[in-house]
A and B are shown apart, each in its own frame.
Chain A
């Protein structure tokens, strides 16, 4: 016997000049896990902000009926009071406070303003047990990993006696193992009668845990699928409004001589000087080839790429880099760029973009020499370049004068890509190029990668999504604990083979 816990009826929300949501309907049954999927910018987050009261009642049209009564939330406090708790993608924890302090922040057990720490810690221990986190409640947040921080957020939600838990992209920055644990936890909550709304890009996760899926596109509800109708193809078709028979663009590799070769590359940790992070890596990539680096979180892939790119990570770096057979000096970013190496970061907001400047200035930043003479920037040439790359990579914005901070994840990624394409590199290292971006934009990024390879550039793709690597690369290196533990042609690779290489490598390492 189920009853409807939440019904959002004809929600319409307009921002100046944009209709973010138009007549969206969402109906959630008590005790189910309801997934909400859609491309970035489709309106999922806006809908959740309406629900949780971030956008106060009155700033939108439509009705929210929660447990049979119509609600007019004026702020997050109102919705939390009713047991609706939202956990945002970017975690809202204070790094230098302990787990206990974070969980009860603003909600401490206190008498006359004096906190009873023993009571708080006892409750924290109970909550941590519920979410399966084995940590001392006194541990500082900064000392635990992202996966555990996510669990602390959930424990915090539980402390507020949550009835309806909303998770916005909860596994976006988690490793495979942590993601699985989190999804198991959601299923456990379901057994305990807590209703969850899960916003996710990862369709395999949705497939695994969701009882129902509501698909949103361009601010409208497209359809709600029941468990038996859920399939990845069906969801993708609804999300992008067209069928994606092939999730990866076709390409015919034309592979030439070796462009970049790295020999015996070793790197030590920047703080723990005796910890070797990269242990003698040998790889190569050829002209026109797309090479993948697979591995689990913490395998050292990003560390390897960044240490290669102008020693941007680590210290006591040793090893040799050869470009077309000749040793080159990559000891600073500008030298690496001058030799035609580009690195597109996995964290575009922190390392990739100046979010408070517009698209035009971001695109030309790595190659200002290309739009200037005698250090004086030719404004019109810069504008032409920006517009050219905006068209080439299909950046969706009103003009090149839009702030990159206001773009969606996919479009931000295209700006970062444009920046490096304009620097005209021979070797392009892409670190998680499709992280946190939607299916449609992913396809566009794959198309760009394929085009770059056909232009004769050598491309290295680091990715945690194995299907993606299998879909777009020619050859895959498998990395684990700072070593290359396997190499295979993409044509005879499979997810199982990659996992086996990782597991075997682990056995060897210990």
Chain B
């Protein structure tokens, strides 16, 4: 992602009317660079589709991929704001582990009565996460202790509490099915399924698994609605710009972009529909991504975070309460770390002492692959999400290929370095 597109949906694309027609060409170049990351993700997916002989895009595997990586992406949303505001949070993996342990203790061990209901426990855990974020953010915002140090301390502290809570090396479980649905559940098919090809029934009267083709219609409807809404709002924004006399990006570019994105989305939706529908965790993630895109691009608080990261002193002298804003960024990070912890615990079906161990590095890597600047002030939500998926697809693809875990780390490290070097090179050239 290029720097010139901090918040602002049309940034880098829009030009004043008085510009020359050459703008169309330069807009294309700018956009190619901006979408370079998404193209990279597609290229990586195609690569693994071939090397895993088609396993990657199998509906079962897509569901796995989402369930295995959603917690990284959820936490990357918070980490993006932390990094844009010029800080870092090393504690997220430990906080996630601690919250998972806390949730398990509340649901399984402690006699809490009605309070051990998964929903109540989840809400309490999110609040605890926010409190942890506030406790760390307080030192960073109001006492100007470097975030690296505060959260390094947090990383040690919460991993320790997590292990102590679980009584040393043991794990706590099994967690109730209602809780596990957060990670392993699928949305219910309220419309009913559509059978395109009836499954083959064998001589013993049993259906052969994998035969036939049944579509999860609720999934299809949600997918279509999302794609139509995407196209509609894109078109409406364009119209509005033109009505007010501003040039939007070239129409062909807009059409190509919308069509490619929609086609990709519909393909994935179709794959999910042929299996068991959309995973619940994917829905949670989708809503959060949309929310954070909106907050960073359209809301004043988002703008203020970018301004603070770009030049904290100037932001302060423009009337922005930078201390309070920093505190809020860390509270947000705490809540999302807690959600990440719940997702991990729900996927494993139990709380283990090593849950989330080292995941802070994956989260931070996702944000930097997504084009955020370590100096603060630059970075995009979509970039961080795509960065997270790049990491996830590589994890998944290499596992299927049977690449050793040790070498997977080497490859991920090289990709992180390569992505950032490419980004810096591009910026210097442009």
Contact = CB atoms under 8 A, between A and B. Distances in A.
A379 B9 contact: yes
Interface string A352-374: 11111110110001101100100
Given A356-B3, A368-B300, A333 B317 contact: yes
Nearest to B14: A401
B16 A368 contact: no
A399 interface: yes
A380 interface: yes
Contact of B298 (A309, A333, A345, A376): A376
B317 A401 contact: no
A502 interface: no
B298 A358 contact: no
A357 B16 contact: no
A503 interface: no
Given A356-B377, A399-B19, A365 B318 contact: yes
B303 A333 contact: no
Interface stretch (B32-40, B68-76, B143-151, B307-315): B307-315
A401 B307 contact: no
A231 interface: no
Given A369-B300, A399-B19, A358 B4 contact: yes
Interface string B290-305: 0000000011110110
Contact of B313 (A343, A350, A384, A419): A350
Interface string B374-416: 0001100000000000000000000000000000000000000
B21 to A, nearest CB: 15
Contacts of A403: 4
Contacts of B306: 354, 357, 361
Interface in B1-46: 3-4, 6-12, 14-16, 19
B319 interface: yes
Nearest to A416: B314
B158 to A, nearest CB: 32
Contact of A361 (B7, B240, B319): B7
B6 A357 contact: yes
Interface string A186-213: 0000000000000000000000000000
B4 A383 contact: no
Contacts of B6: 356-358, 361
A122 interface: no
Interface string A32-52: 000000000000000000000
B377 A354 contact: yes
B10 A375 contact: no
A495 interface: no
Contact of B317 (A352, A357, A368, A369): A352
A353 B14 contact: no
A312 interface: yes
Given A368-B300, A368-B303, 7 more contacts: A343-B317, A351-B313, A360-B8, A369-B300, A380-B246, A399-B14, A400-B16
6 contacts: A333-B320, A351-B313, A354-B311, A365-B320, A372-B299, A379-B9
Interface of A: 309-310, 312, 332-334, 336-337, 343, 345, 350-358, 360-361, 365-366, 368-369, 372, 375-377, 379-380, 383-384, 387, 398-401, 403, 419
Q: Enumerate the 6 nearest inter-chain pairs by beta-carbon distance, A residue then B residue, closest first.
A: A354-B310, A366-B318, A334-B319, A368-B300, A337-B319, A354-B311
